[in-house]
Amino acid sequence: MIFRTEAEINDIVADFQARLPDSDGKPIGAVYCRYSTVHQDSIADQVRSILKDAERQGIFVPRKNVFYDMAVRGYKQERNGLNNLRECLKAGRVSVVMFFATNRLFRKMHRSLQFVEEEIVEAGLRAVFVKSGVDTQDKERWRMLLAFHSMMDEFVVGMYAENIRSAHEGLFAKQLVFGTISYGYRGEAIAGQTTRRGRPRKKLTIDPVTSMIVNRIFTWFCADRISINEIIRRLNDEPTVPLPPRCTSGMWTRLAVKGLLTNTRYRGLWRYGVNETFWISSKDSARQKPRREPLREMQIEELRIVPDDLWFEAQNRLHARGCHRGRRSNDGNPKRRPRILNGILWCPVHDQSLHVGGPFGQSMFCPACRRQKGNQRALFSYLNRQLATKLTCEKLAKLIRSDDSLVARIIDACEREVATLQEPDPDRLTRLRSKVEQISHRIHFVMDNVGDTEADQRESSARLAELRRERAVIQADQASLESNAQKKREIPTEDQVTQMLVDFSQILNDATRIESLSLDNYGHARGIIEQLTGGRIELSQFGESKAQRGWLRGRFILRLLNVAVKNLIGLPATNLDDGIEVTIDYRPPASYDAEAERAREFYDRGMLNKSIARELGCGTAQVVKLLDHAFEKRGEKRPDGRRRRWTVKPQQAATPLYTQLADPVKALWDEGLSVLEIARRQDCSDATIWKALVHWHKSRGLAIPTARDRHEQLVNRVVGMYDLGMTIKDIAATLRFSTRSITLWMQQWHKDRGLEMPDGRT
């Protein structure tokens, strides 16, 4: 379009200059034109009208002084064409600036007045608005006329916006396409109906392909407990997955996935006018802020893609305190720093979740406690993340396995909940709705009173997040009750309950082995721990504030019946049992002695620390601690590792290259090949070949061959081959030596024996 516009302007200006040739004394003018959207194309018409008036007034306009902006809003101050006009004015190349109308300059009244006053009039130049009838030569009236037209321009924009909203609301009520179609839906053409642009009118329907992707994303996030980052990777790894609308990056992003998970349309609740757009003149850009209430809201069940309970479960998890805070690890090995308990461990004194810190980020601490003096800290011990994850999972798995009557109690609780569902308590649903309404009013109050200072705004933001988190939990329970009231529930069998408990226990046991934990099980383990602990483990300090003398104790209420019923029949069960208080001492357990003895056993076998670490699945630093503990328990002192290393065979943690090559090198050696040829074939150095030969003979108690022995062996072989009738040239090619070397060896052999070497020609 820009090339066509340029060509049209060139033709118009050439025709204008043919009728009004340049001559001395004529004022030089500049032209500026603009239109707002890509659906408009009026630059050439504006230029034609302006030049017609310029011809009438005898103003000459060069082609280089025609400036324009295409598809740029009149609110914006920074535009390419307008900036070029400013440079032209500063250079003093013109005396008259001509516009088509006041609304082509700015859509804001104060912007138009400011530009004309400061950029044109104060520079001693003249401004002419052709269709608005404003000319700054009319010094008595131009300000009044410009102000009036600019005010009308700004008023008309607002009027158009209201008309567009009304039209959109009409389309919205008829379930017709009125804007960007959300991912998961498509427009289905209606026969015989068209838009004002002649395009077919379309009705909103569910797209069978992308709606499956929407369901898959919600299932990954809620049921499989997969993180948003992992969902993004899975979507981008599958090239057949369609991209979201208006995607400019060519891939799925966090913003796209999070926007999909929070879209109310997928549960059938369609809203129009949720956000309000307003222009920030100082930033020269538009911003959006949520309205107190949407302009229009409608429940359309035929456009529902996910059930209410699944959608609200996603909101509950989105608003929950995240477990993926902090940057990625520098070494790229997150298994040493498991994030399963991030956001779950809390300091009750400061009501603060523990942060990651310590050497290599392997520990957790209370940031509020660390800002206090040592003797005033409620928690002074650092908590090892691997140890905390292991002990928490082991404790929960043990509690699940140890209760023999648990299966029967779970089945009984399911029967009671299903019976309650058949005779629903209307007061419970009413209470939930009342709570949601109360919290919504408080959210609106905070949004309307964010405060004036930066500190007030931070506090309001934190409070707003807390209220939304609380509302999401209640809305999830409300949606589950409303949807479950219409579903028929079956009592789970004993085998189903047993299998669920076995799965829980297995996932928790797998979580204790971080190095082998898959991403899918990682999310499941995090979800199980959140449910069983209520998402909060409160810590208290025990022991002394000395090295290896203090530890932390975790405490939470375990309501296993509630969790089991919710997972088996999908009901938000509450108060089925009072729960039991569980405590966990986060310190190396008694099994530490057994692990230390196992490390001592490997040590006595002559294994290096690296090999012991590989066997135990830990680091070498942990191996040193285990060995120190084992020796100290027996009243012994661990020998110096540097001296011990020379007595250990082998001294390398990994098998050396010369050891690996010993057998193939010996086979090639027996074939009579030179060391250099063997090295070439094995792609290593000749020194490595000699080491391999030494190792082969030494490991078998045989004499190690020397270079002299090798030479004599080769010479004897050469003589034997010569006696068989082979030529020196053929012998050299076979043994990979030069003919000169073979000749010299033969001459020396015969000389040592007082013989004359035969003539090779005879």
Please determine, for residue 234, whether its predicted confidence score (pLDDT) is greater than 70: yes
Give the tens place of pLDDT for each residue, 178-204. 888 899 999 988 888 888 778 888 999
The answer to whether the Cα torsion of 721, 726, 732, 734 is positive or negative is: negative
Pairing of strands 29-34, 345-347: unpaired
Average pLDDT over residues 337-347: 84
Residues 6 or more apart whose Cβ sits within 8 Å of residue 519: 226, 230
Question: In this model, does residue 315 exceed pLDDT 90?
Answer: no
DSSP three-state, residue 186: strand
Q: Residue 487: which pLDDT band, with cuts at 50, 70 and 90?
A: low
The mean pLDDT of 740-746, rounded to a whole number, is 84
The residue among 736 and 746 whose pLDDT is bigger is 746
29 vs 75, residue with greater confidence? 29
Predicted pLDDT at 96: 95
Of the candidate CATH numbers 3.40.50, 2.40.50, 3.90.1750, 3.30.70, the domain formed by 185-191+199-306 belongs to 3.90.1750
pLDDT in tens, 258-285: 999 999 999 888 888 878 777 666 665 6
Pairing of strands 269-272, 550-558: unpaired
pLDDT at residue number 41: 64
Write the class of the CATH domain 2-159. alpha beta
Q: Evaluate if residue 502 carries a pLDDT over 90.
A: no
Q: pTM of the entire structure?
A: 0.54
Residue 640: what pLDDT?
A: 78
The CA distance from 362 to 532, in Å, is 24
pLDDT band at 136 (very low <50, low <70, confident <90, very high): very high
pLDDT at 144 over 90: yes
Q: What is the pLDDT of residues 543-561, one digit of tens each?
A: 877 776 788 999 999 888 8
Which class for 568: exposed (0-12), middle (13-18), buried (19 or more C-beta within 10 A)?
buried
Decide if pLDDT at 3 tops 70. Answer: yes
pLDDT at residue 653 in the model:
55
The tokens for 163 are: 């008309």
Give the Cβ contact number of residue 266 at 10 Å: 27
Q: What confidence score (pLDDT) does residue 196 get?
A: 77
Between these two residues, 68 and 308, which has the higher pLDDT value? 68
Q: CA quadruple 328, 524, 264, 188: dihedral positive or negative?
A: positive
Q: State how far Cα 335 lies from the chain centre.
A: 18
pLDDT in tens, 207-227: 999 999 999 999 988 887 788
Q: Are 435 and 474 in contact (CB under 8 A)?
A: yes
Beta carbons within 8 Å of 46's beta carbon, 6+ residues apart: 33, 35, 68, 100, 104
Q: What's the distance, CA 370 to chain centroid?
A: 30
- Tell me: pLDDT of 687 over 60: yes
- Residue 760's pLDDT is 63
165: left (phi over 0), alpha (psi -120 to 50) or beta: alpha
**Distance of alpha carbon 194 from the chain centroid:** 42
Tokens read off for 215: 């369901």
% of the chain exceeding 90 in pLDDT: 19
CA dist., res. 525 & res. 408, Å (int)? 24
Neighbouring residues of 498: CB distance < 8 A, sequence distance ≥ 6: 407
CA distance 168 to 165: 5
In the chain, where the domains are located: 2-159, 185-191+199-306, 334-424+485-586, 591-645, 657-752
In this predicted structure, the answer to whether residue 415 has a pLDDT above a threshold of 90 is no
Tokens of 380: 């002074």
pLDDT digits (tens, 9 = 90+) for 239-264: 899 999 888 888 999 999 999 999 99
pLDDT for 64:
92
**In CATH terms, are 2-159 and 185-191+199-306 the same topology?**
no
What is the mean pLDDT of the segment spanning 639-644?
Answer: 73
Beta bridge partners of 129: 99, 134
Stated as kind and residue range, the H or E segment containing 73 is: none
Q: Which of 578, 407, 393, 436 is nearest to 498 (CA)?
A: 407
The pair of three-digit structure tokens given for residue 81, joined into one six-digit string? 């064409």
Distance separating alpha carbons of residues 304 and 215, to the nearest angstrom: 11
Give the distance, in angstroms, between the CA of residue 197 and the centroid of all CA atoms in the same chain. Answer: 41
Residue 243 CA to residue 261 CA, distance in Å, equals 15
Sign of the CA dihedral 622, 626, 629, 631?
negative
Residue 518: which pLDDT band, with cuts at 50, 70 and 90? low
- pLDDT tens per residue, range 691-727: 888 888 888 888 777 777 777 778 888 888 888 878 8
What angle do the packed helices 308-319 and 254-261 form, to 10 degrees?
Answer: 130
pLDDT at 503: 86
Smallest CA-to-CA distance from 78 within 277, 286, 285, 287 is with: 285
644 or 738, which is more confident? Answer: 738
- In the predicted model, is pLDDT for residue 591 greater than 90? no
What is the SS3 string spanning 317-339?
HHHCCCCCCCCCCCCCCHHHCCC
Share of the chain above pLDDT 70, in %: 88
Question: What is the per-residue pLDDT across 50-70, written as a single tens digit (0 to 9) for each?
Answer: 999 999 999 999 999 999 998
* 3-class DSSP assignment, residue 750: helix
Q: How many CB atoms lie within 10 A of CB 383?
A: 22
Q: What is the DSSP letter of 757?
A: P
Mean pLDDT of the chain: 82
Distance of alpha carbon 464 from alpha carbon 104, whole angstroms:
42
pLDDT at 31 over 80: yes
